[in-house]
Structure 1
């Protein structure tokens, strides 16, 4: 089991849905979070991407010299960058970091945000673009000269002069719940990521992607993006969960759900359906709480409980095939320590390689 942490480049605070308890997020603070994750032996960190975030590649580069062995899961965006440009960026970062790069393939799910970046294509077209993008990107990263003419890309004599250090290339991570996303995962991806859904739903996803990958002669590993609220006792953990959303009112929920309703992401729709915009009945599966998703898009669920209970829930997902957990909690600096101190002793953790780049 590998545990990652999260770098909050879009904002941070003690409560959701309010400016109360909000703290300034600058490079000094982000370094504190990254250094804590590094010192506490998290395998790596996810750096989010999107209009509301600081640029992931610049932040990751800024954090390299502040850390020693921490890996960085950084997004490439098919449609927003060309595959050859993304390959040069990845190879340079991988070489400079001595193999500490992981690639998060993000197709995007908000048509309004995408339009703001000049992208005006349908959901299915985005995945067609992603398919072509990854074919080109992988071939170039494997030091092949690429001549490719597809529906979206026309590459002539594409090549990479300065390769990265990981072979054949930094591992590809990817999430998506649509059929098109599952096909991309089966065809191209090393680690498929799901958000924290009830175990039965996660099992269905894993089985479907495994079957599709086997048909192509491939294997795929699995990971989960999830919040955690762990305290010394079950009672304290649920108190902390309720405290996190104490300022969330109907107006805040309505504003967030309006933004989510415009998205064409199947995964986001599944997250929203877990709570249906209501603060009632937020425990959707034992210890799995959907309160975060009331006012946050993306990962919207948290495991809540004492260390032993949360560890058992994580192990249940592990039994289904989840090997990597990308966790987070509010505020991220303090919670990085709390999760390490309370939860790590109860988990069968993979020992991080001292030499970066070794899988």
Structure 2
């Protein structure tokens, strides 16, 4: 089980859909979140992509020297950069970071945004281009270890004598993540990617996705790993957690929700439609669980105004840990999480939930590799006892 966090390169806030409690997207803040995730023992961080975000590649590169073990899950956007150039960027970032790059293939689902980036292909054609892009990208990187060239001619892309002189540290290439809910997306995942990443849907829906992609991959003699993208709202008690969820959307205006849902409805992303179907635009400030708790402890309220991943696990540490274990039992290895605000919630989740999970990071948790007092010494005399070990799950 590997837990990743999130760098909010589109800005951060204590409340959704308002500037109240907002934090600007600055390098200093990104670095704070990255350093926190690194020292707390998260496997890596996801850097989002799109015109609402700072560039993920430049941001990831800027954080290399501020971190030690942290991996960077960075977006590949077919159609915006040629695959050979993207391969060089990936090899460089992987080399300079000491093999800490993971890539996330993103085809895009907003036609208006894509048009602004010079991408005018249909949904089906975008996946065709993405498949060609990824094949070229993978082959250039894989062959770079032996200094080989690569030729390819497809419907959308063509290269002749493509060659990379500086190979990546990761072999044969950095691990490729990808998420998509359409038939074309599942086919692409089955044929080429390493890890299929789904947005947070109820366990039965996730199980169906895992089974479908696994069956398609088996036809190609391949086996994928799986992951899930979720928000988390965890507090020491269940009541506190749901109060925190209510606080998160307490400044939301119904008109803002309507405007956001109208925009999402214009997208051709199947995954975005599935997110919208979970909440159906319903919003009752008096009872935020009504119509939005779509499965035990799984809340669709984030998706009222946030595109992409729109669900959160809400509950006390034991409840959130159990939900994560339920997803893990379906075959999921990677959990890409986030919370508002991201700096504080990175600490909170690590403190409350990490000790309850069967993680490889247990040996890195505070108190396992350090010596000395933990917490503020009382009256210059009394040293607080460290109790983390007693909480750690033996599962």
TM interval, short-chain normalised: over 0.9
Q: Partner residue of 2:193?
A: 189
Q: Any residues of structure 2 matched to 1:113-152 within 5 Å, and which?
A: 113-143=113-143, 144-152=148-156
Q: Distance in 2 between matches of 1:294 and 1:259?
A: 11
Q: Is the contact made by 1:43 and 1:352 (CA closer than 8 Å) also made in structure 2? A: no
- TM-superposed deviation, 1:352: 8.7
Distance 1:100 1:124, change over 3 A: same
Post-superposition CA distance 1:173-230 (Å, at most 9, x none): 0000000000000000101000000000000000000000011000000000000000
- SS at the partner of 2:98? coil
Say which structure, 1 or 2, has more relative contact order (CA 8 Å, 6+ apart): 1
- TM-superposed deviation, 1:248: 1.0
Q: How many residues align?
A: 354
Post-superposition CA distance 1:114-162 (Å, at most 9, x none): 0000110100000000111111111100124111111111211111111
Q: Distance in 2 between matches of 1:164 and 1:345?
A: 34
Post-superposition CA distance 1:291-326 (Å, at most 9, x none): 000010010000000000010000000000111000
Which 5+ residue runs of structure 2 have no aligned equivalent? Answer: 284-289, 365-395
Post-superposition CA distance 1:58-96 (Å, at most 9, x none): 100111110011000001111111110110000011111
Between 273-282 and 94-103, the greater mean CA deviation after superposition: 273-282
1:46 aligns with 2:46: yes
Q: Partner residue of 2:242?
A: 238
What's the TM-score, normalizing by structure 2?
0.88
1:260 aligns with 2:270: no
Larger Rg: 2
1:270 aligns with 2:274: yes
Q: Any residues of structure 2 matched to 1:85-100 within 5 Å, and which?
A: 85-100=85-100
What's the TM-score, normalizing by structure 1?
0.97
Q: Partner residue of 1:340?
A: 350
Aligned counterpart for 1:166 among listed residues 163, 170, 183? 170
Q: Distance in 1 between matches of 2:80 and 2:295?
A: 37
1:218 aligns with 2:250: no
Runs of 4+ residues deviating >2 angstroms: 350-354
- TM-superposed deviation, 1:17: 0.7
Q: Partner residue of 1:84?
A: 84
- TM-superposed deviation, 1:350: 2.4
- TM-superposed deviation, 1:25: 2.3
